[in-house]
Amino acid sequence: MVELAVAADDDLVVSDIEIDRGGPSYTVDTITDLVALDPKAEFSLVLGTDVAAQLDTWHRHDELRQMVTVALAERPGALRSRPLVVWIWSMIDMPRVRLSSSELRDRLRRGANVDFLVPASVIEYATEHGLYS
């Protein structure tokens, strides 16, 4: 479904690194693998502001902090928090959408309209395969 969702954008690439690795998947391991593939690349970790204050509880967060810049998106209705000052972070200037992945899955389960929330190709795939119903 991710491949379907980004098919129209040549700047986006889908990776199966986490699936191929198997077992528990930690962000620091994924970033480590991506850095190994392209050591000159710069990586941003996009998070909602509601998650930012928890970064220092993440697995091997000290290593992760050295590899990424945190890009924060405000989530309407969520408590606003920022990472501790030791993280390099910036705010993303974007429209605030009041929608969580849980709510989106619930809408799909109920057969509610999700047009304009996900690409039509993803809706078709989920419907054809009976996902979320």
The pLDDT tens digits for 2-44 are 999 999 999 998 999 999 998 999 999 999 999 999 999 999 9
User: What element of type H or E holds 121?
Assistant: helix 120-128
Which tens digits make up the pLDDT trace of 110-128? Answer: 989 998 888 999 999 998 9
pTM of the model: 0.76
Q: Which domains does the chain have, with CATH numbers?
A: 2-95 (3.40.50.620), 99-133 (no CATH)
CA–CA distance, 129 with 62 (Å, rounded to integer): 41
